[in-house]
């Protein structure tokens, strides 16, 4: 028997420790939550992607009464970025969430499995890691790569 151990490196920063670009990404992700459509869950999620060309694109969750028909903020953002800038890699993806009263989550939220899979595919598509920032009012997690969120992911090598 062989044991395989995979670990994740997470850096925790307070908002006051963020550089200018990181502050801009957090602000964009938080602002995107106010455009989400979440009448059922009342959980508003926004995401902001910093592209290699310096552009920041945003997206948010869009719910539907037929639950599988909605889409998460992370996928909305990445699909929009890839449709608008198909040849430009995503450098960083920042995610924030709040309730309908406007209170942001204290602890950082983590993407669902489907979003993690799309994030992993985005990394593979462009051949380099995408940093992930998970916002919470108690601090922001910085994760070096989407691969760290899905260490045993399904990728093109699985299709043999």
Paired strand residues for 131: 92
Our answer to whether residue 121 is catalytic in this structure is no
In which residue are the tokens 């957090």 written?
A: 26
Q: Could you say which of 74, 107, 121, 123 is catalytic?
A: 74
Active site amino acids: 74
């Amino acid at each position: 028997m062989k044991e395989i151990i995979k670990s994740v490196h997470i850096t925790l920063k307070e908002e006051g420790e963020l550089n200018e670009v990181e502050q801009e990404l957090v602000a964009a992700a938080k602002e995107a939550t106010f455009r989400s459509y979440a009448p059922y869950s009342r959980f508003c999620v926004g995401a902001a992607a910093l592209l290699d060309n310096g552009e920041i694109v945003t997206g948010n969750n869009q719910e539907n009464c037929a639950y599988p028909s909605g889409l998460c903020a992370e996928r909305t953002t990445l699909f929009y970025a890839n449709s608008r800038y198909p040849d430009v890699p995503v450098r960083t993806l920042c995610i924030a969430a709040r309730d309908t009263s406007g209170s942001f989550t204290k602890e950082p939220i983590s993407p669902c499995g489907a979003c993690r899979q799309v994030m992993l595919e985005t990394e593979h598509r462009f051949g380099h890691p995408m940093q992930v920032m998970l916002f919470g009012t108690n601090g922001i997690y910085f994760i070096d790569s989407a691969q760290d969120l899905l260490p045993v992911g399904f990728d093109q090598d699985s299709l043999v």
